[in-house]
Structure 1
Amino acid sequence: MKVRRGGPSLARHLAQLLALLACLSLMATPVSAQSILRDAETEALLADISKPLITAAGLSPANVQIILIDDPSINAFVVAGQNVYIHSGLITAADDVNEVQGVIAHELGHIAGGHAIRFNEGYSQATKISLLSLLAGVALAAAGAGEAAAGVMAMGQQAALGNLLAYSRVQESSADQAGSSYLRNAGISGKGMIDFFKTLQSQEFRTGVDRTIDYAYTHPLSGDRISRLETAIKADPAYDTPIDSALEQRFERVKAKLAGYVEDPTRTLKKYPESDTSVPARYARAFAWHKSSYPEKALAETKALIAAQPDNPYFLELEGQVLLESGRPVEAIAPLRKATALSGSQPLIASMFGHALIETEDPQYYDEAEHVLRAAVSRDRENPFAWYQLGTVYAREGDDSRAALASAERFDLTQQWPLALRYAEVAMAGIDPNAPDWLRAQDIAYVARAAIEKTGKKRR
């Protein structure tokens, strides 16, 4: 028996078509394979720079989140709901805070325009075109018409991409116009939006199609589009409004901090040499030294930062983090306690403080740890780390039922449904059925059981 093969041309077009299908799938669900970065200082900055824009878009700041994704590529996007996702690479690539505001304004235009739903319509049609051309190509190949099969697949690939980009271009233009109006109404210059788009376009011209610049894939740029946007924005009264200096200083700190956290330490130390004694440079080096397991060098940088700004909760948080993660939890308590107080018990900082109290393994700190962590999860329930720490302190205090409930909360957040169900049932068995905690455990069990049934997973 012999199998007729279509030759290299057919194989090439088949590979290209399958690659297109993969690309479409990634564009439709971009969050699934990526991780979220949580940082109190960064989240506070993103909330502050976006709040006037969210209001200008007719949305509620309480319902819109700006979420940071750990990804070095330059991109931002929205999916269903009212969340804007920004890649860490976009923050480190932006020249100033105004450029980030321009991107956020553009993405809010997608939310206000309901583009996530409409993109799914375009994605669905593009996928159908691709699948039909794939099936037709395979049928022709099986009949021995290899070249014809390759041609059909190539046409299907082109049609699918054209169909998808037709949706994208219309939506991008609409988001541009909406975003520029939000900037104008908020009294914020749109110069950063233009500058950011021009920077991306110049990078495309210099390097060709660069896979690290994902923004160019999900936000097709053109000279005409940028020219139209520039004409509209330059006519705005807010165009010459200077950048808020306080926000810019905060942005420079966050940008340096992020570089120190996500980039290779060698690269960070080269970008921020020890001869640079500015606050952002010290911040970046502190994270780089800590990441490289040089705690004393990291602490030297944090102490210099605290000497310059003794009441900066984020500098104190970093000192506590370095001490805690280098095995000195007792020493970490003082800076973390002060950071928690100065930040108004910010949940992420408080959860690290609670962690330090627990890590001392000294029972005298357990009551305080429980109090701190319960307050943290009451304000931010979507914090698996805080739930883990709360479960730990409950277990050490001998309250196994509430330790199980904290574990159920953690596994519910991370969508580990069999474990969420198991621990919720353990909690229900040991908590008074009339107590609010029992009702919460019941809710988790119900959601987990439904998710297991839906996905077909078996309990283990």
Structure 2
Amino acid sequence: MRFPGRLLVALAATMLATQPVAAQSVLRDAETEAFLDDISAPLIAAAGLEPGNVEIVLINDPSINAFVAGGQAVYIHSGLIEAADTAEEVQGVIAHELGHITGGHVLRYSDGAAAATKISILSLIAGVGAALAGSGDAAIGLLGLGQQAALGNFLSFSRTQESSADFAGADFLSKAGISGRGSLAFFGKLLNQEFRYGYSQSDEAGFYRTHPLSGDRIARLKEVFERDPAWNASANARQQAGFERVKAKLTGYIAKPAATLRDYPESSQTVPALYARAYAYHKSAHVDRALATTDALLARNPDDPYFLELKGQVLLESGRPTEALEPLRRATQLTNAEPLIAGLFGHALIATEDAANFEEAERVLRAAVGRDRYNPFAWYQLGVVYAARGDIPRARLASAEQQVLSGAYALAIRSAQAAEAGLETGTPDWLRAQDIGFEARALLERQCELERGRSCERR
């Protein structure tokens, strides 16, 4: 399910179903998540999936890539957002990945891998037989041919799935009334990359690809899209403006400040340019320039919650938490306590080190984790509040929540045990401590099996 697919990616794909983002970090931002939810909603409906069950997750990885890895989550690399020029291009990618979900392709990957494994095992047996008979060269040849056949079998299986996802994605775009021009434009970018890096377009090279050749995909899809009634549909101007903001924000956050200022120079006074430069100045510790830029954004729209969030973030991370309270409180109100923004506001309240703010911080943070349990930072801050008021069992419970989300499973087990020992038996918090302990043990066992290839000893 990766975009240009090469040999190592194909072999690694079988592991994605068990550990999709092990080596990468998830990027979370309220505005970006709202944007991705917005542009994917009509596609999810067109695919016949329940909106609340599908997640679009942004991964901090510079490669141009997207994949699904079990469940109903679509993982998009930050490099893909940076490479795209329009919201429609991103929608084309999402539609394709939803095709993998509706086709059950991740579940069926084991079928392709199993067939390849059988071929490899048979070649291994034949190779060993030849070696025992005294023909070392023949043994090596048989093993090599067996591996090539196994790889060809697996990649052929993968290319078939990719083609299926292409046409399913085209169908979802059509049903959603979204033009396929963005999808074709993005495949064109992939084709240009193949030529730039010298990837051959020959059939021999195609044998080692998890995806069909991009030129072939474009030709086939172009026929489908040009006949579709949505081909000439106008792009959604609101979504395009949102994409440009999100892309600029991502660039400002990830790229080196010098690169951001080159791509979004002072001469540009557009909202995306101001957004990107505000992050670049903040990363460079030019606090006054960062605040001046956020104020320029707020002058255009004083009630934009994301501009307010940015100003609060700059103030908070510059050691001025008290000044950060007003913009963050307003952003929290305007978004109806969006969990990520509310979590940042709760952090600012705690960072003032004023005990008078702790009650509000607890209220805000409890609401944040109530709506989004998968926010380790908010759990950590809530633990700080509980500890400050002497409620150690709930502080340990909050720590356990944070640790299990962060992958610190052994610590989570100990924190959950300590919380369970201090909480009243049978209460919801006591039951939750038990649940976290069970969850952390299961995840630790799974982690050990993946790393060592066997079950870990029980501690």
TM-score by length of 1: 0.89
How many residue pairs get aligned? The number is 437
Q: In structure 1, what residue type is equivalent to 2:342? A: A
- Per the alignment, residue 416 of structure 2 pairs with 424
Q: Deviations over 1:105-151 (max 9, x none)?
A: 11101100101111232133334545665787688789986654554
Alpha-carbon spacing, 1:129–1:106, altered in 2? closer, same or farther (3 Å) = same
Partner Cα distance (1:48, 1:209) in 2: 35
Asked whether the equivalents of residues 21 and 130 of structure 1 are also in contact (C-alpha less than 8 Å), the reply is no
Give, in angstroms, the shift of residue 422 of structure 1. Answer: 1.1
Asked whether the equivalents of residues 405 and 423 of structure 1 are also in contact (C-alpha less than 8 Å), the reply is yes
Asked whether the equivalents of residues 76 and 103 of structure 1 are also in contact (C-alpha less than 8 Å), the reply is yes
- Per the alignment, residue 435 of structure 2 pairs with 443
Q: Among residues 388, 395, 402, which one is paired with 1:403 in the alignment?
A: 395
User: Are positions 1:205 and 2:195 aligned together?
Assistant: yes
Give, in angstroms, the shift of residue 23 of structure 1. Answer: 5.2
- Per the alignment, residue 353 of structure 2 pairs with 361
Partner Cα distance (2:104, 2:15) in 1: 14
Partner Cα distance (2:9, 2:221) in 1: 32
User: Are positions 1:25 and 2:12 aligned together?
Assistant: yes
User: Are positions 1:276 and 2:276 aligned together?
Assistant: no
- Per the alignment, residue 183 of structure 1 pairs with 173
- Per the alignment, residue 203 of structure 2 pairs with none
Following superposition of structure 1 onto structure 2, how do residues 52-451 of structure 1 map, counting pairs within 5 Å?
52-130=42-120, 148=138, 151-209=141-199, 218-451=210-443
Q: In structure 2, what residue type is equivalent to 1:31? A: V
Q: In structure 1, what residue type is equivalent to 2:183? A: M
Q: In structure 1, what residue type is equivalent to 2:269? A: T
Give, in angstroms, the shift of residue 457 of structure 1. Answer: 5.2
Give the match's secondary structure for 2:52: coil
Asked whether the equivalents of residues 452 and 458 of structure 1 are also in contact (C-alpha less than 8 Å), the reply is no
Partner Cα distance (1:58, 1:439) in 2: 36
User: Percent sequence identity over matched residues?
Assistant: 61
Give, in angstroms, the shift of residue 223 of structure 1. Answer: 2.7
Asked whether the equivalents of residues 190 and 214 of structure 2 are also in contact (C-alpha less than 8 Å), the reply is no
After superposing the two structures, state which structure 1 stretch, 32-41 or 200-209, moved more: 200-209
Give the match's secondary structure for 1:62: helix
Give the match's secondary structure for 2:220: helix
Asked whether the equivalents of residues 10 and 155 of structure 2 are also in contact (C-alpha less than 8 Å), the reply is no
Asked whether the equivalents of residues 138 and 149 of structure 1 are also in contact (C-alpha less than 8 Å), the reply is yes
- Per the alignment, residue 205 of structure 2 pairs with none
Asked whether the equivalents of residues 418 and 458 of structure 1 are also in contact (C-alpha less than 8 Å), the reply is no
Partner Cα distance (2:54, 2:363) in 1: 29
Asked whether the equivalents of residues 24 and 127 of structure 1 are also in contact (C-alpha less than 8 Å), the reply is no
Q: Aligned-pair RMSD on alpha carbons?
A: 2.4
Q: In structure 2, what residue type is equivalent to 1:352? A: L
Give the match's secondary structure for 2:51: coil
Alpha-carbon spacing, 1:306–1:162, altered in 2? closer, same or farther (3 Å) = same
Q: Deviations over 1:42-101 (max 9, x none)?
A: 000000000110011010000000110110000111111111110000011011000000
Q: Deviations over 1:323-351 (max 9, x none)?
A: 11111111111111111111111000000
Query: Which consecutive residues of structure 1, in runs of 5 or more, have no partner in the other structure?
Result: 1-18, 211-215
- Per the alignment, residue 9 of structure 1 pairs with none
- Per the alignment, residue 12 of structure 1 pairs with none
- Per the alignment, residue 51 of structure 1 pairs with 41
Partner Cα distance (1:22, 1:113) in 2: 20
Q: Among residues 17, 20, 30, which one is paired with 1:40 in the alignment?
A: 30
Asked whether the equivalents of residues 173 and 179 of structure 2 are also in contact (C-alpha less than 8 Å), the reply is yes
Asked whether the equivalents of residues 187 and 214 of structure 2 are also in contact (C-alpha less than 8 Å), the reply is no
Query: Which consecutive residues of structure 2, in runs of 5 or more, have no partner in the other structure?
Result: 1-5, 201-207, 449-454
Give, in angstroms, the shift of residue 458 of structure 1. Answer: 6.6
Give, in angstroms, the shift of residue 159 of structure 1. Answer: 1.8
Partner Cα distance (2:22, 2:129) in 1: 33
TM-score by length of 2: 0.89
